[in-house]
Amino acid sequence: MSLNFMDAGCQTHSSRKKFGLCDDPPPAINPAYIDEANGAKWIAVVINEYEYYCTFTAVDNCIDVRKPSGKPEKRCEGILSYNDTIIFVELKQRGALGPDWVKTAEEQIRVTIGHFERTDAAEDFTEKKAYIANSEHPKFKESQTERMEKFAQETGYILRIENRIILL
């Protein structure tokens, strides 16, 4: 069974120059979404200077991704897409983070990308990116460059660990 990563029932849209990606605090039961009005809720800020029509497809709490055993799979919050660009997004909120939050977030994105790359929709995008966004603006003791380079080599996706997503 092929997963529908472009399920219209899981989507919100915006073409504003600036909008946010939100996820309810744990225990989250609702899917992540685009918000254009309440900046205090934004975990990731999207800078959309060219006013592209953007679609955010919620994956977590919306698209049923399962392991071969039938158990639910860990997955990222969602996918931001416009034109020929796709961006997988994992949203982390302050207060909900353990010491391995970046590693956990990366694993969630990798799992979701793995499932996505097995669908026909993967061929529709030439620019492939992933973002781990944290509402707290974390300071790292060491550079994440090695992690990001390894991610790109292994997945073909550019990984960024920041909460500002600038659309080019």
The per-residue pLDDT for range 66-111, each reduced to its tens digit, is: 888 989 888 999 999 999 999 999 998 865 566 788 899 999 999 9
Question: How much is the pLDDT for 34?
Answer: 98
**Closest-CA residue to 45 (of 162, 125, 143):** 162
The per-residue pLDDT for range 131-153, each reduced to its tens digit, is: 999 887 666 656 788 999 999 99
Task: Classify residue 91 as exposed, middle or buried by CB count within 10 Å of its CB (0-12, 13-18, 19+).
Answer: buried
The amino acid at 30: N
**Closest-CA residue to 167 (of 74, 78, 71, 86):** 86
